[in-house]
Amino acid sequence: MGSGRVSVVTGASRGLGRGIAIALGAAGDTVYVTGRSKDAPTGNWPGTIHETAAAIDAAGGRGIAVACDHLDDAQTKAVFERIEAEQGRLHVLVNNAFAMQDFSALPGNFWERGLEEWQQQIDVGLRSSYVASVYGIPLLIKAGKGLIVNTSSVGARAHLHPLPYGLSKIGQDKLAADMAPDLAPHNIAALSFWHGLVKTDRTLLGLEHFPQMFEGIGGYAGAESPGFGGRIIDALWRDADLMRLTGGTFYTSELALHYGLKDEGDHQPISFRQFFGAPLFEKAI
């Protein structure tokens, strides 16, 4: 039996977005998944939006693949116009679309590498979250209750990866914080998630080839599955006092402890608070 929820996860052909989308499908959602990987994978990693949609179906939900290049605002707008035409409302928006190099930065100082990293992580990442929110919020209002989750990381505080990475992540946190006051009268919560190490294809290959990069933060033992955040989103939705959290940034591991959730294999991912400290826009859970 379906949950009655309609969700959209941007950038869901692979990795974290794919995992969240499948977990929401397992909870019974109708999930719209967006991305550029329509008929074949883009870049160096496997996965397409149609494969994710099929996995959502197999998990018990209903997956709907919508090809979208989030650099094109018209394509993003068309996604939400389709949702409105087919569903008339939206309950959960997960802003996850993002792009970056395989592990960290290209060689050289940031000013020597050109502007590609900015386009990938600010335009595809942060700006696309803003645009998706602008087009998605009217549908969340129609539903009478809504939840927006921006996928972020400790890169909002720590210097990780290329320079634009951190700007994008702190921007995701600030976006949730500043959307919250306008959305509160409409019973829509906006949150940002600080995921820990996530067992995506990219991260698992990194752990294999560059284990020293992860030794100080728990390595594989502290990592979370790509679907972990989706289960947390489901728990948040079921929380009758969800609005107390709106505008906040949260470690996924700590939200899971609050809601009594464990990851696959009865695993409890560790909090990175001990390594990176508190988010700037943190709220008490």
Enumerate the active-site residues. 165
First vs last Cα of the chain: how many Å apart? 30
Task: Find all residues with CB under 8 Å of 251, minimum gap 6, and list them.
Answer: 194, 196, 271, 272, 273, 279
**Integer-rounded Cα radius of gyration of the chain:** 17
Phi, psi of 63 (to 5 degrees): -100, 135
- Distance set, CA 215 to CA 74, 139, 225 (Å): 43, 44, 18
Q: For residues 179 and 150, give the distance between their C-alpha atoms in angstroms, rounded to a whole number.
A: 11
H helix or E strand, kind and range, residue 6: strand 6-9
| CA angle centred on 124, ends 151 and 105, rounded to 5° | 85
Which amino acid is residue 70, in one-letter code?
H
Distant-in-sequence, close-in-space partners of 170: CB < 8 Å, separation ≥ 6:
152, 156, 157, 280
**Largest distance between two CA atoms of the chain:** 54
